[in-house]
Amino acid sequence: MSAAGGDAAIDVAGVTKTFRTWERSGAWSVRRPFRRRRAGRAVALSEVELRVGRGEFVGLLGQNGAGKSTLIKLMTGLLLPEEGTVRVYGLDPYADREANARNMGVTFGQRTQLWWDLPARDSFAILRDIHGLPGDAWRTALAELDDVLSLSDFWDTPVRFLSLGQRVRCDLAAALLHRPRVLFLDEPTIGLDVLVKDQVRELLARLAGTGDHCVVLTTHDMAEVEALCRRIVVIDRGRVVHDGPRDRLAVAGAESVFLVEFETPPPPLDLLSAEVVSAEGPSVRVRPLPGADRARVTAELLAAHPVRSVRYEGATAEDVLRALHGDPRRQRAAAPGAGS
């Protein structure tokens, strides 16, 4: 699934990045609390290869500390690789920071890029001047973003008084205002309620459909990945352990279940399309059998007993990673020194 060299918007080749660590030499003592510390190196990324094509929407998954944020910081020019090269539309992100910044938009979870004491609309005006946007283009872009994210309801409120959901929507708009060719989204919907998540996903789905933006999304919400990303890259212990279509990752062993709330505790269920995982009173969890789709499982559940609600619980990123890490071959591939 790697993009060909000439078609790659992002080209990460053989990148390794380590960080210095310090260890105490000997036990701590009341008499000698300050002992000489020994320096060491922690490997954040090891020989990472990643190519993302123009217009691709890629999900970047990994446990905390796996190296996702380090990789994004290398691609945005915040860090310099020790070995290997990083190119974003042919630019070295670290050496060509200003040119690279004009090409990209970035959101980092709950870290805002807006001016704290100014209304959000004033921040958009400042970003217009920073990126040198013509007035008409700026107004058109802002109107399009307002149409999806409903920004005008609160964009005259100082940023410090915005709710988390409002601030995240404004940050996403700020990242998209100059129509960047590359977009890095690090947990863009973290902490948001369902309605705001739907708004953000609608906007991201539009971006995915246009093919005009190269997007790299990191998230722990697998539902977001399923809705937006056709290609998944998984990083574990600083190495890429999976790079391929989303459907191939689903076969890795992560489970999905239906949570069914019946009107009353049901009798033992004998289903053709699913098996019962657990049952506690009126709450029952069932797992689809191989080859059974959601519609078939739902229809059979509705016919089995009076149902109050059915909720599909797609695999979380943690489930997917747990399934991947449970494969001894993948564990060996992710181990230090493997493949060298």
Q: Give tens-digit pLDDT for 174-200.
A: 999 998 999 999 888 776 777 777 777
Q: Name the pLDDT band for 28 (thresholds 50, 70, 90).
A: low
Stretch 17-38: mean pLDDT: 66
Element (H, E) at 185: strand 182-186
CB-based contact 258:75 (threshold 8 Å): no
Tally of CB atoms within 10 A around 263: 10
With a cut of 90, say whether residue 14 has pLDDT above it. Answer: yes
The 3-state DSSP class for residue 63 equals: coil
What is the distance between the alpha carbons of residues 52 and 182, in angstroms, rounded to a whole number? 10
Residue 332 has pLDDT above 60, yes or no: no
156 backbone dihedrals φ, ψ, rounded to 5°? -95, 5
Q: Would the pLDDT of 164 be above 80?
A: yes
Residue 42 token pair: 């922690």
Mean pLDDT computed over 290-297: 78
Does the 5-26+40-250 domain belong in CATH 3.40.50.300?
yes
- Cα separation, 70 vs 23, in Å, equals 22
User: Which tokens is 313 given?
Assistant: 């619980």
Q: What share of the chain is helix, strand, coil (3-state, %, to 5)?
A: 35, 30, 35
**What single string gives the DSSP state of each residue in 254-286?**
---EEEEEESSPPPPP--SSEEEEEEETTEEEE
The pLDDT value given to residue 217: 92
Q: Tell me, what's the pLDDT at 223? A: 72
pLDDT > 50? residue 72: yes
Work out the pLDDT band at 41, boundaries 50, 70, 90. Answer: confident
Local structure of residue 118 (DSSP, 8 states):
S
Quote the percentage of the chain above a pLDDT of 90. 33
Tell me how far apart the alpha carbons of residues 128 and 135 are, in angstroms, rounded to a whole number.
Answer: 8
Q: What does the pLDDT read at residue 325?
A: 59
Do residues 188 and 168 make contact, with C-beta atoms less than 8 angstroms apart? yes
C-alpha span between 96 and 90 (Å, rounded): 10
Spatial contact of 218 and 72, defined as CB atoms under 8 Å apart: yes
Is pLDDT of 302 > 90? no
Q: Tokens 């009173």 map to which residue?
A: 281
Q: Where are the domains of the chain?
A: 5-26+40-250, 257-313
pLDDT mean across residues, the chain: 81
